[in-house]
C-alpha cells in the first residue's frame, strides 16, 4: 500500500532533534531527566522495590497487622542499588532490630509509669547507640543506630499500654522480617548469576584502580606536575571500592578470602601512590645528572603506561609479573654496578667527592624505584589472588578507618538532647499525637547521626517528607475513598512509589527520595476495616512533619557540624599518630596507617565539593605528605629492627625517631635532625667496606630524604596549634 503523506508530521519529525542553545558549560540534562528519561538500572530498581513494597503491604493487610505500613517502609529502607548492599543491610537490620526489641522491653519494664526516668534512660541509650555508630563503618553503623531508634519506636508506642509492650515489640519485629523477606525474595528473582557477577565486579574495580594509579605514577616519573594533584583525588574512589568489596562478598555466598586479597591490593595501590610522591621528592633532591637512571625511569614509565591495556587483555598476570621482575632486576643490577664502579675506580682528589656523591645518588634513586616496583608487584599478586579461590588460604586483611571520638561524642549528646527535648514538649503540651512526634525525632536523629554533614542531609530529608505529605493528601482524600479491594490499592500506590524509586537512583534526589518512600506508606496508612478520617490524618501528619523539622533544628542548634573544626581535629590526630609511629611498640602496621589516611582523604574529598578551595587542596596535600612521612618512619624502624647498620648510623636514626616521637609541628627541629642524619649517613656510606651494609645505609638515606623534605614543605599544615588557612 502506498504511504500517505503528512507534511506537518514530517516537519515535526525534523524538529525532534532541535535543542535550544544554552550558555557555554550549561548542563545538557533536564531537571527531571531522572523521571522522564531514567536509566535501565534505575527502572529495574524502582520496579522490583515497588513490587516488594506492595507485596509486603498486601501480606500485612491480609495478616490483619495493626500498622501494616511498616512492612513497605522496611522494604524501602533495606533496598539498595546492589544486591550485596541490600543483603548486608538486611542482615544488620535484623541484628539492630533484635537489640532494639530486647532493650525496649527492658526500659518499659524498668521505668513503667515514671516518665522522667524513662525518657532520660531512653535518651542515654539512643545517644550511646549514635555515638558508637560513628566509630564503625558501613551497615554495622546502621545496626547500632537502628538499635537506638527501634527501642524508641517500640517503647514510645507502648507508653499508652505498657502491659502490652511484648506484643508491640513482636509486631514491630514481624513487620521488619516481613519487609526483609519480601525484598529479598523479589530482588532474588532479578539476581541472575550473582556470584559470578560479584567476582567480575571486584575484578573490574581493582583493574580500574591499578590502571589509574599506574598511569599516575608513570606521569609522575615523566615529570608531569599536575599528576600529583590528580593522584590525590584517587583516594576517595579507593575507599569506595574497599567498602563495595564487603557487599560483593555478600553476593558471592560461600567464598574464600578473595575479598581480603582485594583489600590488600587496594592498600598496596595506596602505598604505590605514596611511593610515587617519595620518588618525586628524591628526584628534586638529587642534583647530579643521572643518565642511567633516566633510562631506567623511561623503561618503568613505558611499562606502567602499558599496564592498563595489558590488564584488559588475556595475556595473564604471569607475563606482567615476569616483565616487572625484569625491571626490578635491572634496578638491582644498576645498584651493584654503581658499587662495583666506585670500589674499582681510582678517583682524583678533585673529582672524588662529586663522583662518589653521584654514584650514591644513583643508588638512592634505583633503590627507591625498586621498592616502588615491589609495591606494584604486591598489588598485582593480590589482584591475581582475589580472582579465584585458593585452597587452604587463611589470609585476612582489614583496613582501619579514621576515628573521631569528639565527633562521636557530639553525635551521642545531640541525639540524647533531641529526644529529651521532644519528651519535654510532649510533657508540657499534653499533645495527643505527641508520641508520634517523639518517635520521628528519634528516627531522624538516628538515621542522620552518623552523616558527616547532617544539617544538609536532614534539610533534604524534610523536603522529601513534605513531598510525601502532598502526594498522600491527594491519595487519602481523592483516590482511596473510592476503593475497596487490594488490587485497586496496589494500582493506586504503584505509580507514586515507582517515582520514588527512580528518584532514589539519582544522586541529587536520593535523600529526598529516602524521606518520600519512607513516609509515604505512613501518611497513606492503609487499613483493612476503614480509612483514616481527616482530623486524624492532619494531626498525625503534622506531628510527623514537625518531628522531622524539630530534628533539623536540633542538628543546626546543638553542636552543629563544622568542617573547619573537623579538619583541625584531623590534623591534631595526624600529629598524634606520627608521634605514635615513631615510638610505639610493636611498630604499627603499614596497613593500619594506610587505612586511616585513606579514610581521611575520602572525608576531605567529600567535603571539598566539585571545586575544592585552596584550603582543602592544602589539606589534601598535607594529608598525603603526612601519610608518606609515616610510611618512611615505619620503614626506618623496620631497618633498625634488622640491625644491619653500624652503631653510629643507628644512633643518628634513633635521634630522628626521638625527635619525631615528640613532634609538635613547630620549630623544625625534627626536619633538621633528619637532614643532619642524612649528611652523617652519606659520609658513613662512603667509608663503609661492607656492601650489604652500604645498601642498607642507602635505604636509610632514601627514607630520611623524604622525611626531611616533607616536614619542611608542609610545615604550616603540620603545625596544628591553630587552624590551617592556605595562603
Extract long-range pairs of 500-503: CB within 8 Å, 24+ residues apart: 500/46, 500/76, 501/42, 501/45, 501/46, 501/47, 501/49, 501/50, 502/34, 502/35, 502/38, 502/42, 502/43, 502/46, 503/34, 503/35
**What mean pLDDT is reported for the chain?**
86
Q: Which domain holds residue 487?
A: 39-192+402-557
Residue range 639-649, pLDDT digits in tens: 999 999 999 99
Answer yes or no: do 711 and 574 share one domain: yes
Gap between the Cα atoms of 107 and 122, Å rounded: 7
Residue 239 is predicted with a pLDDT of 75
Which residue's entry shows cell 513494597? 53
**87, part of any domain:** yes
**228, part of any domain:** no
Answer yes or no: do 595 and 535 share one domain: no
Answer yes or no: do 520 and 619 share one domain: no
Of 301, 371, 300, 279, give the one whose Cα is nearest residue 332. Answer: 371
Residue range 452-483, pLDDT digits in tens: 778 888 899 999 999 999 999 999 999 888 77
59 close to 178: Cβ distance less than 8 angstroms? yes
pLDDT of 128 over the 70 cut: yes
Phi, psi angle pair for 238, to nearest 5°: -60, -45
Answer yes or no: do 453 and 541 share one domain: yes
Answer yes or no: do 553 and 406 share one domain: yes
Gap between the Cα atoms of 58 and 42, Å rounded: 24
- pLDDT band (50, 70, 90) for residue 361: confident
**418, part of any domain:** yes
Strands annotated E in 544-659: none
Phi, psi angle pair for 344, to nearest 5°: -90, 0
Burial tier of 318 (Cβ tally within 10 Å: 0-12, 13-18, 19+): exposed
CA 24 distance to own-chain centroid: 34
* Lowest-confidence segment of 527-531, 591-595, 605-609 by average pLDDT: 605-609
Which residue's entry shows cell 630522628? 656
What mean pLDDT comes out for the span 382-402?
83
**671, part of any domain:** yes
- pLDDT band (50, 70, 90) for residue 413: very high
What mean pLDDT comes out for the span 269-280?
86
- pLDDT band (50, 70, 90) for residue 533: confident
**5, part of any domain:** no
Residue 30 is predicted with a pLDDT of 64
- pLDDT band (50, 70, 90) for residue 287: low
**504, part of any domain:** yes
**221, part of any domain:** no
> Mapped to the 3 state alphabet, what secondary structure does 648-667 carry?
HHHHHHHHHHHHHHCCCCCC
pLDDT of 685 over the 80 cut: yes
Gap between the Cα atoms of 79 and 90, Å rounded: 8
Answer yes or no: do 437 and 582 share one domain: no
Residue 668 is predicted with a pLDDT of 84
Answer yes or no: do 501 and 627 share one domain: no
Residue 6 is predicted with a pLDDT of 39
Which residue would you say has higher pLDDT here, 74 or 113? Answer: 74
Residue 672 is predicted with a pLDDT of 93
pLDDT of 7 over the 60 cut: no
**211, part of any domain:** no
- Domain boundary among the residues 557, 581, 606 is at 557
Answer yes or no: do 179 and 61 share one domain: yes
The C-alpha cell of 539 is what? Answer: 494531626
The C-alpha cell of 472 is what? Answer: 498522600
Residue range 292-338, pLDDT digits in tens: 888 999 999 999 988 888 887 766 788 899 999 999 999 999 988 88
- Domain boundary among the residues 539, 557, 575 is at 557
pLDDT of 564 over the 90 cut: no
55 close to 186: Cβ distance less than 8 angstroms? yes
Into how many domains does the chain fold? 2
Answer yes or no: do 416 and 553 share one domain: yes
pLDDT of 445 over the 70 cut: yes
Gap between the Cα atoms of 165 and 108, Å rounded: 7
Answer yes or no: do 448 and 578 share one domain: no
Residue 252 is predicted with a pLDDT of 77
- pLDDT band (50, 70, 90) for residue 377: very high
Of 396, 401, 334, 406, give the one whose Cα is nearest residue 368. Answer: 334
The C-alpha cell of 514 is what? Answer: 529516602
Q: How many helices (H) and strands (E) does the chain have?
A: 28, 0
What mean pLDDT comes out for the span 149-162?
92
Which residue would you say has higher pLDDT here, 637 or 601? Answer: 637
> Up-side HSE of residue 468: CA atoms within 13 Å toward CB?
31
| Planar angle of CA 231, 233, 239, nearest 5 degrees | 110
Answer yes or no: do 497 and 577 share one domain: no
Residue range 89-110, pLDDT digits in tens: 888 989 999 999 999 999 999 9
- pLDDT band (50, 70, 90) for residue 4: very low
Answer yes or no: do 125 and 108 share one domain: yes
Gap between the Cα atoms of 188 and 251, Å rounded: 11
Residue 504 is predicted with a pLDDT of 93
Residue range 157-178, pLDDT digits in tens: 999 989 999 999 999 899 999 9
- Domain boundary among the residues 532, 557, 582 is at 557
Amino acid at each position: 500500500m502506498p504511504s500517505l503523506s503528512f507534511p506537518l508530521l514530517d516537519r515535526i519529525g525534523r524538529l525532534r532533534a532541535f535543542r535550544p542553545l544554552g550558555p557555554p558549560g550549561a548542563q545538557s540534562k533536564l531537571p527531571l531527566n531522572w523521571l522522564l528519561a531514567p536509566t535501565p538500572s534505575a527502572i529495574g530498581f524502582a520496579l522490583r522495590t515497588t513490587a516488594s513494597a506492595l507485596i509486603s503491604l498486601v501480606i500485612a493487610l491480609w495478616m490483619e497487622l495493626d500498622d501494616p505500613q511498616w512492612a513497605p517502609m522496611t522494604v524501602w529502607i533495606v533496598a539498595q542499588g546492589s544486591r550485596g548492599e541490600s543483603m548486608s543491610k538486611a542482615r544488620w537490620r535484623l541484628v539492630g532490630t533484635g537489640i532494639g526489641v530486647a532493650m525496649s522491653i527492658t526500659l518499659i519494664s524498668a521505668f513503667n509509669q515514671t516518665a522522667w526516668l524513662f525518657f532520660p534512660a531512653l535518651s542515654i541509650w539512643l545517644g550511646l547507640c549514635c555515638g558508637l555508630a560513628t566509630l564503625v563503618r558501613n551497615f554495622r553503623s546502621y545496626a547500632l543506630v537502628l538499635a537506638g531508634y527501634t527501642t524508641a519506636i517500640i517503647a514510645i508506642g507502648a507508653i499508652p499500654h505498657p502491659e502490652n509492650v511484648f506484643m508491640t515489640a513482636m509486631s514491630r519485629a514481624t513487620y521488619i522480617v516481613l519487609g526483609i523477606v519480601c525484598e529479598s525474595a523479589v530482588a532474588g528473582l532479578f539476581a541472575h548469576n550473582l556470584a559470578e557477577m560479584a567476582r567480575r565486579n571486584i575484578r573490574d574495580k581493582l583493574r580500574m584502580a591499578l590502571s589509574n594509579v599506574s598511569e599516575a605514577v608513570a606521569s609522575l616519573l615523566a615529570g608531569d606536575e599536575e599528576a600529583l594533584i590528580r593522584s590525590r583525588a584517587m583516594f576517595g574512589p579507593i575507599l569506595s571500592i574497599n567498602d563495595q568489596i564487603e557487599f560483593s562478598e555478600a553476593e558471592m555466598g560461600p567464598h574464600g578470602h578473595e575479598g581480603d586479597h582485594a583489600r590488600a591490593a587496594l592498600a598496596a595501590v595506596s602505598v604505590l601512590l605514596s611511593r610515587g610522591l617519595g620518588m618525586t621528592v628524591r628526584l628534586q633532591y638529587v642534583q647530579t645528572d643521572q643518565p642511567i637512571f633516566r633510562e631506567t625511569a623511561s623503561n618503568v614509565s613505558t611499562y606502567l603506561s602499558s599496564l592498563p591495556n595489558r590488564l584488559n587483555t588475556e595475556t595473564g598476570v604471569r607475563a606482567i609479573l615476569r616483565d616487572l621482575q625484569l625491571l626490578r632486576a635491572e634496578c638491582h643490577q644498576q645498584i651493584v654496578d654503581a658499587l662495583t664502579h666506585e670500589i674499582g675506580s681510582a678517583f682524583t682528589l678533585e673529582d672524588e667527592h662529586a663522583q662518589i656523591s653521584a654514584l650514591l645518588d644513583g643508588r638512592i634513586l634505583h633503590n627507591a624505584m625498586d621498592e616502588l616496583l615491589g609495591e606494584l608487584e604486591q598489588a598485582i599478586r593480590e589482584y591475581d589472588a582475589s580472582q579465584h579461590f585458593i585452597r587452604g588460604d587463611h589470609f585476612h586483611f582489614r583496613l582501619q578507618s579514621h576515628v573521631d571520638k569528639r565527633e562521636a561524642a557530639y553525635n551521642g549528646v545531640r541525639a540524647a538532647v533531641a529526644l529529651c527535648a521532644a519528651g519535654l514538649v510532649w510533657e508540657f503540651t499534653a499533645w495527643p499525637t505527641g508520641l508520634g512526634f517523639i518517635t520521628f525525632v528519634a528516627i531522624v536523629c538516628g538515621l542522620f547521626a552518623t552523616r558527616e554533614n547532617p544539617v544538609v542531609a536532614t534539610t533534604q530529608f524534610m523536603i522529601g517528607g513534605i513531598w510525601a505529605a502532598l502526594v498522600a493528601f491527594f491519595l487519602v482524600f481523592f483516590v482511596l475513598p473510592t476503593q475497596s479491594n487490594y488490587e485497586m490499592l496496589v494500582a493506586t500506590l504503584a505509580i507514586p512509589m515507582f517515582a520514588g524509586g527512580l528518584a532514589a537512583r539519582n544522586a541529587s534526589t536520593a535523600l529526598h527520595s529516602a524521606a518520600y518512600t519512607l513516609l509515604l506508606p505512613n501518611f497513606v496508612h492503609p487499613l483493612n476495616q476503614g480509612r483514616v478520617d481527616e482530623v486524624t490524618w492532619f494531626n498525625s501528619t503534622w506531628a510527623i512533619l514537625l518531628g522531622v523539622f524539630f530534628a533539623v533544628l536540633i542538628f543546626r542548634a546543638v553542636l552543629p557540624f563544622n568542617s573547619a573544626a573537623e579538619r583541625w581535629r584531623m590534623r591534631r590526630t595526624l600529629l598524634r599518630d606520627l608521634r605514635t609511629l615513631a615510638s610505639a611498640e610493636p611498630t604499627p602496621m603499614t596497613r593500619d596507617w594506610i587505612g586511616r589516611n585513606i579514610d581521611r582523604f575520602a572525608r576531605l574529598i567529600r567535603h571539598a565539593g566539585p571545586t575544592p578551595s585552596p584550603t582543602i587542596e592544602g589539606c589534601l596535600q598535607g594529608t598525603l605528605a603526612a601519610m608518606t612521612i609515616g610510611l618512611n618512619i615505619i620503614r626506618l624502624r623496620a631497618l633498625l629492627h634488622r640491625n644491619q647498620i653500624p652503631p653510629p648510623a643507628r644512633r643518628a636514626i634513633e635521634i630522628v625517631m626521638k625527635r619525631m616521637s615528640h613532634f609538635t609541628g613547630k620549630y623544625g627541629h625534627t626536619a633538621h635532625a633528619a637532614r643532619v642524619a642524612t649528611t652523617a649517613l652519606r659520609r658513613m656510606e662512603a667509608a663503609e667496606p661492607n656492601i650489604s651494609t652500604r645498601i642498607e645505609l642507602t635505604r636509610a638515606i632514601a627514607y630520611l630524604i623524604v622525611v626531611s623534605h616533607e616536614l619542611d614543605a608542609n610545615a604550616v599544615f603540620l603545625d596544628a596549634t591553630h587552624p590551617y588557612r592556605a595562603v
